[in-house]
Amino acid sequence: MLLVQVLFSNTSYAQSDRVYDQNANGWYMYFGDHRFTDKWGIHTEAQLRRNHIIKDPQQLLLRTGINYDLTPAAMFTLGYGYIETHPYGDYPAADKFPEQRIYQQLQVKGSLGRLGLNHRYRLEQRWVKQPGAEDYTFLNRARYMVKALLPLAGNTLEVKEPFLAVYDEVFVGFGKHVKHNIFDQNRAYIALGYKLSNTTSFELGYLNQFIQKANGVVFESNHTLQVSIFHNLNFAAQE
């Protein structure tokens, strides 16, 4: 939170100039990391994001990537994402607009007692075509997420057992096209999960997405139902 406060202090707008928008959203998501050799694999991801929980469109996000295991606890990913954002909320965009994105990512796994930890560091190069614009605008963004999983039935997480999941992720924009929102957004999440099998787990939770728009004036607090399926296959083990 100290980082968020420091980033807020860089904006040129006074507190009294800010306006706040709250929305109820639903994000329905699939994540897959599938290994083909001892070191190499692919990432697959699809997210259907809806406004008013499920009634209206908010975003479609499709993401893929090539995974490489640096060590048993560290994985690097180089990937591509396509995002289509629709108007929503009290201060909507003029129309839906596309974004194309390249990203580089490092994930490092660890543990603290019974707690499983995952640190994710991501850099994004984003090409965003705002409504009415002829060309894409190039933007840079850095993201850091720490996620913790706590088994609820024992010291380790086994098949057909529940768990608690929490994470926080901060987004920071940088580069010449950043306007008034060096701080881009923060996501805080808590969920109940269930390990269905050795390859599949499920999470049902609440996400608070706090966004500062590019104009530095509009802030969103999005209360979000998040439904996630994680499906990871190891084809290398079948050789």
pLDDT tens-digit readout, 149-172: 999 998 999 999 999 999 999 999
pLDDT at position 214: 86
Higher pLDDT, 138 or 237: 138
What the block records as the tokens of 1 is 């939170």
Q: Is 142 in a helix, a strand, or coil?
A: strand
pLDDT at position 238: 63
Give the whole-number percent of the chain exceeding pLDDT 70: 92
pLDDT at residue 104 greater than cutoff 70:
yes
User: Is the entire prediction scored with pTM above 0.95?
Assistant: no
Confidence of residue 239 (pLDDT cuts 50, 70, 90): low
When pLDDT is averaged across residues 192-216 and rounded to a whole number, the result is 96
When pLDDT is averaged across residues 230-238 and rounded to a whole number, the result is 88
pLDDT at residue 14 greater than cutoff 80:
no
What the block records as the tokens of 110 is 């660890």
pLDDT at position 10: 46
Rounded (10°) CA dihedral 58, 64, 67, 73: 20
pLDDT at position 16: 56
When pLDDT is averaged across residues 46-70 and rounded to a whole number, the result is 98
Cα 138 from Cα 135, distance rounded (Å): 10
pLDDT at position 2: 41
Look at the block and give the residue holding tokens 């499709």: 62
Cα 221 from Cα 182, distance rounded (Å): 17
Give how far Cα 105 sits from Cα of 76, 170, 194, Å: 6, 15, 26
- Residue ranges per structural domain of the chain: 2-11+27-213+231-238
pLDDT at residue 182 greater than cutoff 80:
yes
CB 216 within 8 A of CB 180: yes
When pLDDT is averaged across residues 116-124 and rounded to a whole number, the result is 98
pLDDT tens per residue across span 24-34? 999 999 999 99
pLDDT tens per residue across span 67-82? 999 999 999 999 999 9
